[in-house]
Amino acid sequence: MLKRFFDLFFTVPGIIIIFPFFAIIALWIKIDSPGPVFYRQERLGKEGKMFKIYKFRTMVANADKIGGAITIGNDSRITRSGRFLRKYKLDELPQLFNVLIGEMSLVGPRPEVKKYVDMYNAEQRAVLDLLPGITDPASIKYRNESELLAARDYKSTAIDPEDAYINEIIPDKIKLNLEYAKRANLCEDFKVIIRTIFS
């Protein structure tokens, strides 16, 4: 109950304050490339419940049909406005509406797509006991995830970026989030938000 109050206390005024900024971003996206302003994708939330996460569109329309599920480095599908929005994580701002309706929290494990959640082992699925969030300790550590994947020498290791994401990054993210769950409280959430802003 306190966590929900915490979320609403910051989310409602936040949406009101930055709404004009939303309008500017939406106009930029429409001018930059054809397609919708928002991108909606199905993710698994608490207890494995499916919901649609909201983001500002940063790729060409129907990008998920012409490429992989993860974005690596200078992906050709990313639009000009999208590169800026991704760099400063502004594409995540519409998720404040997911928080408003109770599907997400400000702080909690980033929700994943079903394809990858289906690969979790029993211990890793414990992360689904938590309400997903806009940011978390793992998001801070992997804030430049696509660049990290692009920087690896995949030819010499015979591991492609998706393999690295599945076998290295996902397990580490889950480990960080389960550690967060052990000490989760409003004070810890506030610290994560501050760290997110400064990172």
What would the pLDDT profile of 117-176 be if each residue is shown by its tens digit?
Answer: 999 999 999 999 999 999 999 999 998 887 777 776 544 454 677 888 888 999 999 999
Encoded amino acid at 103, one letter: E
| Six-digit token string for 173 | 């993210």
Nearest residue to 54 (alpha-carbon basis) of 26, 76, 84, 77: 26
Half-sphere exposure of 90 (CA within 13 A, CB side): 18
Question: What does the pLDDT read at residue 159?
Answer: 63
Question: What does the pLDDT read at residue 153?
Answer: 53
| Six-digit token string for 15 | 């949406």
- Over residues 14-26, the pLDDT tens digits come to 999 999 999 999 9
Residue 41: its H or E element: strand 38-44
Q: Which domain holds residue 35?
A: 2-198
Q: Phi/psi zone of residue 35: left (φ > 0), alpha (ψ -120 to 50 degrees), beta? A: left
pTM score: 0.87
Report the DSSP pairing between strands 38-44 and 133-135: unpaired
Indicate the number of domains in the chain: 1
| Residue that wins the pLDDT comparison between 186 and 199 | 186
CA distance 54 to 131: 16
| Six-digit token string for 127 | 């992360």
CA distance 110 to 169: 13
| Six-digit token string for 174 | 């889950």
Mean pLDDT of 88-99: 95
